Structure formats: C-alpha cells, structure tokens
Structure 1
Amino acid sequence: MRLRGVRRSRNIEDRRRSRGRGGAIGGLGIGGVLVVLAIGYFTGIDVRPLLDGAPQQSSAPRALTPAEERAADFSASVLATTEDVWSRLFPAQVGTEYAPPVLVLFSGRTESPCGGASGATGPFYCPADRKAYLDTQFFATLSERLGAGGDFAAAYVIAHEVAHHVQNELGILARVHEARRQSDQTRANALTVRLELQADCLSGVWAAHVDGLLEPGDIEEALNAARMIGDDHLQRQAGRVPQPHTFTHGTSDQRARWFENGYDTGEIGACDTFAADRL
C-alpha cells in the first residue's frame, strides 16, 4: 500500500508508553502468547487458563521501540484513509455525515468501557466510547504466526475495526445487540457471523475507494488474511474439528468472498449480509 505522503490521522490515542515490560506469561514466551491470544480471539476458545499469572500493567512510562513507532505511523496513515473514504461515501451513499472513530493503540493491557482489553481480545471496536482498540504487536502475529503477511493485510485489520464503527454509525450494531440478547447461543453466534462478514464486506468497499494507494498484490494480501483468520481454519490450526455452531466470524471462504464482494461493488448497500440467503 502506497502510504508515503499520506497524512496521519489525529484520531489516535497511544497508550503504549504506560505498559509494564513483563516477559513470559503462564510459561509461554511472547511469541507463544501472541499465537494463543490470536487463536483464542478468532475461535472463541477460552484461553484465560493459559494466561494465569499475566503481569499487571505498570504506570511507569517507557520508550517506544523503532518498530512500535513505525506501527503507529502506519496505523495513523491507514486510519486517515478510512476517514477520507467514509467521509466521501456516507453523504453519497447514506445521505448523512460521517463521524470517525478514535483508534487506541495499546501494548499488553488497557481498559475500555466494553471491559478490560488485552491481546486476548484481539483488535476490537467498543461502541460505548466509539473507539477501536489495537495491540500493534498483532501485526507480527498476523504475519509471522497466522501466515497473513504484507502491509495491506495489516491495513485490512484496521479497516475491519473501522467497519464496525461504520455499522455503529448506521445503527446496525445496536439492532444486532438487541437481537443477540433475545437469542440462544447458537443463534447469537450466527448473528455475530453476519455482523463480522458485513464488516469484511465494508472493508472491501474501503479498499475499492483508496484511490491510487493500492499496489500489485494488495488485494491478494487482504484475501489471504481473510482466509487465514476464518473460524474453520483457525479451529483446525488449534487441533479442533471445526464446529460451525461456535463460529463467530465466518469461514475462510465466506470472509474472503464478502471482502471481495465489497471491493468489486464499492457499494455499502452490497454488504447486507443479514438479507443474504447464502453467506
């Protein structure tokens, strides 16, 4: 993705300087921890027993590494592209103005109105404060451990969380939350799958409108990332037989197909997964 010369968003809240430096967690090195956390997030496996004894957050400030500085610059530039795209598309396709979210960068642990956040939650969006949360070490997990390398794969992660903010702006998150509250677990999971696939599709819409910034292979990187974090693939990676009733994000094929649908059409209206007979 061509980000040279792209402005950096000011809607960044960087909390990484306040993280404690802890080393291993529950006997795992940091690489092992990142794998466990990512698989736990994307498969719904409860990984907390593996993380007992996690170090508490320290208030002592620390210097950011060059890699962390680069991650912040990258995240701020990608976030700026989402602001530009959705600020154009909302008036044109929805008829309202777009109010962008804040992206919180953290390392290890932080707090949100939606609960305590750690690498175990993975990247997530909290509608209560209209902020997306990202532990920038997840970029390394995505590339080195989950087999989804490339800068556009990382950009897709940010775009996906911003897409949840788009859903919030459109009133979709509130409606799905209410429907989930009235459903059993299997039905609630099925609704969540449709919500996540819609976010994948909206990420594709964003990709279709980042004028002049795409490089050869970028879309393939995003599609590969979508496949690598499909529920079925990650459950197999965790040594489990895929259990569709436990899926919360969709299969590899579904995630890639809906991203591609958004990219091919460039239309918000093409992302109505809730009306789709086939996911």
Structure 2
Amino acid sequence: MKWRSARRSSNVDDRRGLGGRGGGGLKLGLGGIAAVFVIGLLLGKSPMEMLGLIAQVQQQAPSAPQQSGPTAPTANDEASQFVASILGETEDVWSAIFQAQGQRYPAPTLVLFSGSVQSACGGATAAVGPFYCPGDQQVYIDLSFFDQMEQRLGGGGDFAEAYVIAHEVGHHIQTITGVSAQVNDIRRRGGNVEGAEGPLVRQELQADCYAGLWAHHAQKRHAWLEDGDLEEAMATASAIGDDTLQRQSQGQVVPDSFTHGSAEQRMRWFRIGFEGGDYRQCDTFAAQRL
C-alpha cells in the first residue's frame, strides 16, 4: 500500500509512553490483550461497555507503586506517520462527501496510546482494542493491537490496519449523523440490540461499509493499493467476524449473541462500500439482507 502519498493529518494526539497520563490502569500482556478483546466480543460487549467494566475494576483495585513507564516513541516515527496519513485521507474523503451535501465535516482526533488511556468514556486499556468514544469524538488506538490482529486473530497488513482506522472513523460518522443515538435509544428503552439482524450488527456493518467507501475514494485519488492489499482487508474482516471468533473460542456459533456481524457479512459490506463508493448504499438499517 503506497500510503506515503496521502496528506498527513494534524489531528493525531500521540500519548504513547505516557501511561494514561497518570490515570493508573490495568496492565495486561499481549496474550491478555487478545484474550480480553475476544472475550468482550463473545459476551456481546460493545467497546463502551468494556470501558465501563474495566473502569470499575481500576477504581476497586489497590494502587500500585509508581514505576517509570516506557520511553515514548519518537513523535514522527513510521507508525505515527502511517496513522496520520490514513487519518488525513479519511478527512479529505469525508470532507468532500459532506461538502457535496452542503455540510462541513467535523473531523475527529485520533489518540495513540500504549497500555492505558483516559477518555470521556472512562479509563481504558489496550484490552478493548481500537475504539471510538462519542463523548469526546475521538478514536483511540494502541498500536499493539495490530500485532495481535496478525499473530492471534488471523488478519494484518498495512491496508488491513487502514481498514480498522477507517472503520472507527465510520463510527464517528454515525455519531455526527445521529445513527449511534438511535441505537442507544433502543438500548435505553430496554430493546434487544444484539443478534444477527439486530441494531448493533447493523451499526457495525455500516461502519465496515463506510470503511470500504473510504478505500474506494482513496484508491481513486492515489492508486495506492498493491497486489494483496484488498485480500488483507478481507482476511481481517473475516478474522474478526462474530462466527469466526465464537467458533474458535467455544466451538459453536450463536447468532443470537452477534454484535458485529459474521465473517461473510463483514466482508460483504466492506465490498459494497469499496465497489460502489456511495454512502447511500451503506444503509444497513434499511437492508433486507445483511
């Protein structure tokens, strides 16, 4: 993927090595990070729910003696350049789409952290994986997740990593357009949001479609995809499908507990966005077939 041709966003807040800015935090090894991330998906926990649970544990745990944290990586290392390039391209693509509708796109900030971080949604560790917090309209990523995605979840590669970032930006689009509020309203009224046809799955699949839409327009602008890049994204979408994760962890698939969609659904909706490039085709809430 020839990502260096993209404009680099200035909306990256690099907090790596800061240990959550004094917020304490639950420390997990790389294996624990992957395990808790997968368990959260299997339990039907959204990133916001996981944040709340982890925050409760942190509040109840005794304080440990402060130790010197890791040295912060160079602010302009290749990893941060890559993230800034992908985020910059999401800004350019979505700004053009919003402008065509006579609107301005309010770009999110992307926070890079290592170990733990404080957000408007509470304290979080790398265990929750990449997440978007609607409370502060920021995307949070511990880059160690990308290692886990490749080593333990069966995905990986630079375009797959770009897909993950674009997916989280998709949740930002859902927040500013009111889609996320509608799903939250259903939950507050006591409605069931889980299941293979439920609102949570539709919300996640729409974010996948938005990621594909972004990739469509980015490719038209830069022709930056190389052989195997699209397959990387498809392999990652498949690896993080609810059915794939459930089959690996418990030996059976329980569609009633789906929160993100099956492997086939995630790949299909990414392709709908990538091949069509039209946000109107990403209305998963009106779709008869997911």
Answer whether TM exceeds 0.5 for this pair: yes
Query: How far 1:126 sits from its partner (Å)?
Result: 0.8
Amino acid at match of 1:196: E
Q: What residue number does 1:15 align with?
A: 15
Q: 1:182 to 1:266 in 2, by over 3 A?
A: same
Q: State how 1:169-208 maps to structure 2 within 5 Å.
A: 169-185=176-192, 190-208=198-216
C-alpha distance after superposition, 1:136-174 (max 9, x if no partner): 111101111111121100110100000111111212111
1:155 aligns with 2:162: yes
Aligned with residue 145 of structure 1, among 149, 152, 176: 152
Q: What residue number does 1:217 align with?
A: 228
Query: How far 1:4 sits from its partner (Å)?
Result: 2.1
- Provide the C-alpha distance between the structure 2 equivalents of 1:16 and 1:247, rounded to a whole number of angstroms: 32
Q: What residue number does 1:245 align with?
A: 256
TM-score with structure 2 setting the length: 0.84
- Provide the C-alpha distance between the structure 2 equivalents of 1:192 and 1:136, rounded to a whole number of angstroms: 25
Q: 1:219 to 1:74 in 2, by over 3 A?
A: same
Q: For structure 1, which runs of at least 5 residues remain unmatched after alignment?
A: none
Amino acid at match of 1:13: D
Query: How far 1:254 sits from its partner (Å)?
Result: 0.4
1:111 aligned counterpart, secondary structure? strand
Query: How far 1:277 sits from its partner (Å)?
Result: 1.1
Query: How far 1:25 sits from its partner (Å)?
Result: 5.7
C-alpha distance after superposition, 1:178-203 (max 9, x if no partner): 12221334558821110000000010
Q: What residue number does 2:241 align with?
A: 230
Q: What residue number does 1:63 align with?
A: 71
Q: 1:86 to 1:32 in 2, by over 3 A?
A: same
Percent identity among equivalent residues? 46
Q: For structure 2, which runs of at least 5 residues remain unmatched after alignment?
A: none
Amino acid at match of 2:275: D
Q: What residue number does 1:271 align with?
A: 282
Amino acid at match of 1:35: A
Amino acid at match of 1:69: D
TM-score with structure 1 setting the length: 0.87
Aligned length: 272
1:43 aligns with 2:42: yes
1:79 aligns with 2:87: yes
2:238–2:244 contact (8 Å) kept in structure 1: yes
RMSD: 2.9
